[in-house]
Structure 1
């Protein structure tokens, strides 16, 4: 909505953003702004390990190219009746990626206010603000909590809270690039590995309990129950093996993900340069056309000529802005 881009927006149960997406750049209060959309750690089609590799490789690649984020936005639906375990884990991973020192550049944005009464929404907002198990710890460290009312003005007002920030490197960017840590050694990677191992341990205990029940079913000659328990045990073993494998392969698979991200970033930059060049050529052609009209039409009134000159001046400003797009000082990047 803020950028006028046509990125996917999810409203159903399945995740919509399964890859890192960049919105088309736009101007806000004299700043060139680029928005970056990333999938969350509650994705329905990718594992948390896949999401971490995807986000980390993007952040590392952009940081190596000298790009820092002026702001990071975490979206939360105010219509949600409760903040479940998945949402808490999602936000926990978000914090590990950012680190406490960059929380001043973080905005927690609540959405779907039209789906609740003002009284209910404000009560939930107060609970989210005031409880340590929700957003209070990050708000105490200078993060901001803002509302989005699903309008362009609201979206721009939120961005205005961020575009004046001093761009800062996130914790995972400093860990991977400045400290040369392995992905599994980063705070986010270590947290994810620990969670995977804890889940695998829980599955192992569940399998042991199922085996006891299977022995009882065999003793009672209950073949139907035995088969059901055996199938459930196989599912848990498969899931446990998957978690153990993901934890072990996080570092090795990240390297290939990083190479792929660098390739995609190069393609994105080339495409952006081509589109910018096309816009510049179109503006040059339009300026020439207006100039010819002014030179060839002696009958034009002074008012009409002033109008054409204003159009040419506006096109010149747009051209100059496009030419300056590679300057870091002109850009504000928000993820």
Structure 2
């Protein structure tokens, strides 16, 4: 029983009026598609719901089953033929009361249902618009969230690349520093070697100078000794000469 079926039952009540509802026969069908237990449960639900058949049944309407057989059709028709005819409410309002159809209870009910349908359509439209707006806002939030996440991801990637580049730069600085340190050590070693070589050269030169000075000194001393020896020889020779001269005299 959809909303349309319920509205149709409301219209039926307005057309027939409360006095003629006892002439209504409500026929249920498709019994061959369900089990007896399931069909009976649905039948009880229809018969006991105020929004469905209960109000009509309380006013004297009858519920019958159509089993899709000729016998059940005959039973329904015989039931209907046994009812005395009555005047419908809409007939009384139009003929006896002189109302136009739109002013009858059925017409007013129809207008009310149309207005309700319009309000329901407007409500659904507003809900759809609200839902659409919420979906758009949710999509915008999701897009903004994705944008933020993408920015954050890009930022993290940039920071990671910057960290790697900084690490590589630091390694290169450390490598260059190590190269400079090794070069400085090598330079210092070369400097010490050169200084040691210069010191050795100076020592050699100094030793050579000392040797040369010693040789010169020895030569001088030898010359002096020779000079003294010659002088002594000359003196002795002179003395000898003088001595010889004295002997002759």
- Provide TM-score, normalisation by structure 1: 0.37
- Higher RCO (CA-CA < 8 Å; seq separation 6+): 1
The structure with the largest alpha-carbon Rg is 2
- Provide TM-score, normalisation by structure 2: 0.49
Structure ranking higher in strand proportion: 1
